[in-house]
Structure 1
Amino acid sequence: MHFDASQHRCTIVINKDLPAGLAINAASVIGISFGRTTEILVGPDRRSADEINYPGVISSPLPVLLASGDYIRELQRAASEEEAIYAMPFSALAQSCKTYEEYGEKIAAASSENIELVAIGLIGPKKKISRLTGNLALFR
């Protein structure tokens, strides 16, 4: 996906019942995946007055919001029906695995309807993302 901060919004929605450590893990994984799959989301490096390099960071606000697990599943469904929205779902299954190989084996053997989502990242047109997430509380 090609990100345009003037037209797009990105957000991460975390299950409100997730313990803090697992919530931070979910947001981190989604953020890394966003950076890998979304063009121009990460801005260029910057230099301080004393010439220290600071690698590029996200070029747009990235609110982290809270929702029920059921609503996270609804967000996944809505995103799958809307071509303009890129979704990065993150599962409890992924958090339970010790290696990426283990995750690959377990996810390949599971049906999506049986995979519990603990978070989802969304990127898309500002109005569409706001409509889906505008009523959600900010993670604090």
Structure 2
Amino acid sequence: MQFDAELHRCALIIDRELPAGLAMNAASVTGVSFGRALENLVGSALQSQDGVTFPGLITAPLPVLMAAGDRLAELHRRCADDESLFVLPFSALAQSCRSYGEYEARLRDTASSTLALVALGLAGPKKTISRLTGDLKLYS
């Protein structure tokens, strides 16, 4: 997806039942994956007046919201076939693995319908993302 901050919005939705450490992990892993997958989401490096370089940051607000696990699954199902959206599911399976190789092997033998989601990243048209997430509370 070619992200345009004037046209698009993004959001991270975290399972509200996760302990704080796992919630932080889910948000950070999903955020890193967003940065890699969405072209133009991360701005260019900038320099301060005194020449210190600061790496590029996200070019749009990124609210971190919370929802129950079943709501994450429902949102994932609703969004999966919408080609205007970028949908980034993060599963409990992924969070339980100690290496990417382990995740790859275990995922290969698992039906997606059986995966419990612990986080969901969404990006797409502003109105669509607002409609999908407008009733969710900020993560606290």
Task: Tell me if TM exceeds 0.5.
Answer: yes
The number of equivalent residue pairs is 140
Deviation string 1:44-97 (CA, Å, 9 cap, x unpaired) is 111111100000000000000000101100111111121101000000001111
2:127 matched to which residue of 1?
A: 127
Equivalent position SS for 1:21: helix
**Equivalent residue, structure 2, for 1:68:** 68
1:87 matched to 2:87: yes
Unaligned runs of 5+ in 1: none
Instruction: Look up the SS of the partner of 2:65 in the other structure.
Output: strand
Q: Deviations over 1:18-43 (max 9, x none)?
A: 01100110111111111111110001
Cα distance in 1 for residues equivalent to 2:93 and 2:3: 29
Structure 1 ranges of 4+ moved more than 3 A: none
CA distance in 2, matches of 1:78, 1:9: 17
Q: CA deviation at 1:113?
A: 1.2
Identity of aligned residues (%): 54
- Distance in 2 (CA, whole Å) between partners of 1:4 and 1:99 is 33
**What is the SS of the residue equivalent to 1:90?**
strand
TM-score, L = length of structure 1: 0.98
* Other structure's SS at 2:80 match: helix
- State the TM-score, normalizing by the size of structure 2: 0.98
Cα distance in 2, alignment partners of residues 86 and 61 from structure 1: 16
